[in-house]
Amino acid sequence: MAKLQLDIVSATGAVYSGQADEVIAPASEGEIAVLPSHAPLITTLRPGELRILNGQQETSLAISGGFLEIVNNKMTVLADQAEEASAIDLAKADEALRLARQRVAELPKDQDLDKALAELRSAHVRASIARRASDRRSPPRQR
Amino acid sequence: MANTRDLRRRIRSVKNIAKVTGAMQLIAASKMRRAQQAAEEGKAYADKIQVVLSDLVASLDQENLPPEAALLTQREVSKTLMVLVTPDRGLCGALVSNILRVAATIVRDSKTPVATVSVGRKGETFIVRTGNELRAAFKLSDRPRFEETTPITRIVVEEFRNHKADRVVIVYSDFKNLLIQRPVVTQLLPVEPSKAENATHSSYIYEPSAAAVLERIVPRYIETVVYHAILEAAASEHSARMVAMQKATDAASDFVEDLTLDLNKARQEQITGELLDIVGGVAAVQTG
């Protein structure tokens, strides 16, 4: 079966490029799984985990929102920010989450709550994806 | 002929200047490489978002535009907003004056009032000095990050939405190569997505809806354009400064050569004079 050609780019550079059998993405209307030969689609993304299945291999990325386009088995993710789960420093992600929480709690009334909440949401997603990735890595001690 | 002490002092000070300009040249060179690299890395995203946007615009029902399409709609211009991207510092050759000349032309030739959002100090002081309206002034770090540039976009979009500006342009210097940086004027709002080459797939499914995607992608697109302009401007600034500093260093070393020649002449003359004095003195003693 044909494979998807996947490119993930953010404003500051290319994040990921490769082939995939299936991509599970956090679309704003709910998670979507994309297989090859998908109909042309453009959707917005919310902060969440993007999983790439290629053969036996699974790659997980934290996405903080953006857009996804699929056409002719070519899938492009225009991410606001994207990071491979294994590259996230769990301790730092937790710290960022704590700070984001604190910011929301201490926010002055007239400030931009939506923005702070959005930041909190993506910090939360980032930390939990990093935690899952590190759990997966440590017990059976792969690689 | 200046005396040798003065000449030595001048040679020393010119050498010091050459050291400073030489160091500035090296710094500018490394900063330029970084800015260029950043511009290169952002290009994939910028190109792609452009394609997606033009696909999207092509698929919109032109008769029945959603309210989110306001940022795409032309309207009669009664006020223009100019985003003026300049360096913070001088010593970069003709770069600043070239940009400011373009900015001045826009202000002069516009039939409507022009307000300015400045990015960089040179543009800010220029607008204030010429008595034009300065709406906001930004100062970015040496290595502008994407997050730093989003507030600029926010102001611009707000002004446009609130009908405080009906047309927004951005003026910056485009990095062609090391020797050529050209001031360019690009329209930011209303957005004019070029009828892109691959705008052929109007059969996309949009989720949640075309209007919802549009609402999010247009501000993002403008952010990308602004970010890109700022990176180009940074690459231009550093390359212009590098070339200017290289010229200054060369001129300084030429000048040192000239001065050294003068110094040697002066020194020889002095020695000749002293010899003549001694010879004359000896002759006077012998004859006397």
CATH 1.20.5 is held by the domain A89-137: yes
| Residues in chain A closer than 8 A to B38 (CB atoms) | 12
Nearest to A76 by CA among B149, B196, B53, B68: B53
CATH number of A4-85: 2.60.15.10
| Residues in chain B closer than 8 A to A39 (CB atoms) | 205
Nearest to B17 by CA among B239, B250, B261, B257: B250
Pairing of strands A41-45, A66-71: antiparallel
Domains and their CATH numbers in chain B: 32-244 (3.40.1380.10)
The whole-chain average pLDDT of chain A stands at 84
pLDDT of residue A137: 67
pLDDT mean for each 10 residues of chain B (288 residues): 83 95 94 89 86 80 71 87 92 92 92 92 93 90 86 91 91 90 90 62 77 87 91 92 95 95 93 92 86
Q: Which residue of B has its CA nearest to A27?
A: B207
The model's pTM: 0.83
| Residues in chain A closer than 8 A to B209 (CB atoms) | none
Query: What is the distance between the alpha carbons of residues B181 and B272, in angstroms, rounded to a whole number?
Result: 54
Q: What is the ipTM for the molecules in this complex?
A: 0.77
- Contact yes or no for A28 and B52 at CB 8 A: no
- Contact yes or no for A12 and B42 at CB 8 A: yes
Strand locations in chain A, DSSP E? Answer: 4-10, 13-20, 22-27, 30-34, 41-45, 48-54, 57-63, 66-71, 74-79, 82-84
Q: Give the angle subtended at the CA of B149 by the CAs of B146 and B152, to the nearest 5°.
A: 155
pLDDT of residue B226: 93
Give the start-to-end residue ranges of the domains of chain A.
Answer: 4-85, 89-137
Of A12, A44, A80, the CB nearest to B41: A12
pLDDT of residue B194: 63
Q: Is B277 on the interface with A (CB under 8 A)?
A: no
Burial B88-126 (b: 16+ CB within 10 A, else e): eeeebbebbebbbebbeebbeeeeeebbbbbbbbbbbeb
Would the pLDDT of A2 be above 90? no
